[in-house]
Amino acid sequence: MSPEDGRTRGAAQPPLAPDAFVRPFSRRRLLHGAGVAGLALIAPSWVRAATLPPAAPARGDSIVVRWNQAALQGVRDSKLGPPMVSRALAIVHTAAYDAWAAYDRAAIGTRLGGSLRQSPAERTRANKEEAISFAAYRAAVDLFPGSRTTVFDPLMAQLGFDPNDSSIDASRPAGVGNLAAYALLEFRHADGANQFGNYADYTGYASPNAPMDLVSGRLDPATVHDPNAWQPLTYRDASGAIVTPHFVGAHWQHVTPFALTSTATLRSLTGPAQYGSTQYVTQAQQLLVLSAALTDEQKLIAEYWADGPHSELPPGHWNLFAQFVARRDRHGDDEHGIDLDVKLFFALTNAIFDAGICAWDNKCEYASVRPITAIRYLFNGQPVTAWAGPYRDTRTFDGGAWFPYQPSTFPTPPFPEYSSGHSNFSAAGAEILRRFTGRDAFGASVTFPAGSSRVEPGTVPGRELNLSWSTFSEAADQAGISRRYGGIHFEQGDLDARVTGRAAASNAWARALTYFNGAP
């Protein structure tokens, strides 16, 4: 799009990454080194634990699930945005998979193919656990360096492994894990994400709209130069600081996907509704109707799926669901359980990674307006009936002061509306879980104590409230509509993203199967 369309960009050239390791590892060196030979986790911490079906066994988690738990803690401790989290989780589990593949009869790794293949005598549970752990550790420390001493080093110690063992001897499990991780990280450090530049935008994006000052409360219409375009927000965050976040992931359409042939493969041909159209007004009115009629259940749906700062974020949420499935389906911590889990999390995280690229490709291409700008701009100076803020219920007030059902400390995520990341991530996650298990049955639930709301604590919900999902698809659809209840997305941004999320997962699943079967 041109600058007249609301986007200003320079040449998309990612900065060069600095040396990632103490010693540089070229692909040639890696090949040479390879040689020739829970239950409570489903719910956020502020909610009572979700419930498993009564038949669920009490078996230990596999090494894969334990590293997933560690990676999710790395997510919570970091300040990464949703697409960065989806990439990070995919890298951790791809590294684990690539190391595991060396001990499988048919599977091949994503970077080194079958060059790490071990003899049948070496294909033991202990060797798989060690190789997976070293690979996951190297990737996790690279992606979440702030959690090294608090999360990843302690886990290695619990497992009895030395994190300082940097061997690339492919005859040792530690060497296999290190080799697999180094090859993958070398590739991903140049994938356009700008990891070593703190994921900063390098395209020169600038919104045509000046920031909306939410500290003062009302919209200044003069700040909106293009009512089709995303507008930055200025607000007071949870620490009390006044912040104006920039577009997180403005360069993400230049990131190399897992299975998509191009980041634009699933891009919308039409994009979101445009200012001046009937649809533009209708979608805003639809959100006002939802806002005015919010029930306690809808409010808690919006809160449960929000996955804001210090949480697992939307990509991680579906990792929690995968942990649930691993326990529900009795994967366990034996060798068979490891084999199942390494494939499950490999396929899941890469599908969600590609789904995020689909969402951000549209966000980058159209840089579209969020409801908080569109509604305030359309109805400024006009009476609207909607949720009026914490403890104020539904009232009639000036549309220029409308606010989504969100905490004032994080009113709307700092990136454009179309298309929904939640809907893309969730549709992809549900599709992989359905394909992996061979059925859509889920059977999970979560319970909210009375008054446990974070937006209206003490009053919402009025009594204990339970959310349950019979199927993965039902959970994904609820995640999508939750963003409409919360005033974050329009209907089109939700529904279109559900389609692309499923399509991205279908592509990722097909690609994953080729690796599992040894024929990429």
- The pLDDT of residue 14: 57
Task: For residue range 367-388, list pLDDT tens digits in order.
Answer: 999 999 999 999 999 999 999 9
Average pLDDT of the residues of the chain: 91
Examine residue 419 and say whether the peptide bond preceding it is cis (omega within 30 degrees of 0): yes
Give the H/E segment covering residue 419.
none
Q: 8-12, 240-244, 353-357 — which is least confidently predicted?
A: 8-12
Domains of the chain by range and CATH?
Answer: 23-196 (1.20.144), 205-517 (1.10.606.20)
What's the average model confidence in pLDDT over 23-49?
A: 39
What's the average model confidence in pLDDT over 25-40?
A: 36
- The pLDDT of residue 7: 41
Residue 47 has pLDDT above 80, yes or no: no
What's the average model confidence in pLDDT over 301-312?
A: 96
What's the average model confidence in pLDDT over 312-329?
A: 98
Task: For residue range 332-367, list pLDDT tens digits in order.
Answer: 999 999 999 999 999 999 999 999 999 999 999 999
Give, in order, the Cα–Cα distances in Å from 110 to each of 68, 283, 305: 19, 43, 32
Residue type, 78: S
The whole-angstrom separation of Cα 488 and Cα 373 is 11
- The pLDDT of residue 36: 31
Task: For residue range 153-182, list pLDDT tens digits in order.
Answer: 999 999 999 999 999 999 999 999 999 999
The whole-angstrom separation of Cα 177 and Cα 300 is 42
pLDDT level of residue 216 (50, 70, 90 thresholds): confident
Task: For residue range 244-267, list pLDDT tens digits in order.
Answer: 999 999 999 999 999 999 999 999
Task: For residue range 89-131, list pLDDT tens digits in order.
Answer: 999 999 999 999 999 999 999 999 999 999 999 999 999 999 9
Closest to 344 (Cα-Cα) out of 331, 357, 358, 333: 331
Report field, pTM of the whole predicted structure over 0.75: yes
Residue 228 has pLDDT above 60, yes or no: yes
Q: First CA to last CA across the chain, in angstroms?
A: 35
What's the average model confidence in pLDDT over 123-146?
A: 98
Residue 2 has pLDDT above 60, yes or no: no
- The pLDDT of residue 519: 77
Residue 391 has pLDDT above 80, yes or no: yes
The whole-angstrom separation of Cα 255 and Cα 242 is 31
Q: Under a CB-based contact definition with an 8 Å cutoff, are residues 191 and 143 in contact? A: no
Give the rounded percent of residues in the chain with a pLDDT score beyond 90.
Answer: 88
Q: 14-18, 249-253, 272-276 — which is least confidently predicted?
A: 14-18
Residue 56 has pLDDT above 80, yes or no: no
Give the rounded percent of residues in the chain with a pLDDT score beyond 70.
Answer: 88
pLDDT level of residue 520 (50, 70, 90 thresholds): low
pLDDT level of residue 218 (50, 70, 90 thresholds): confident
- The pLDDT of residue 217: 79
> Where does residue 144 rank: exposed (0-12), middle (13-18), buried (19+ CB within 10 A)?
buried
The whole-angstrom separation of Cα 119 and Cα 136 is 22
- The pLDDT of residue 59: 63
- The pLDDT of residue 9: 42
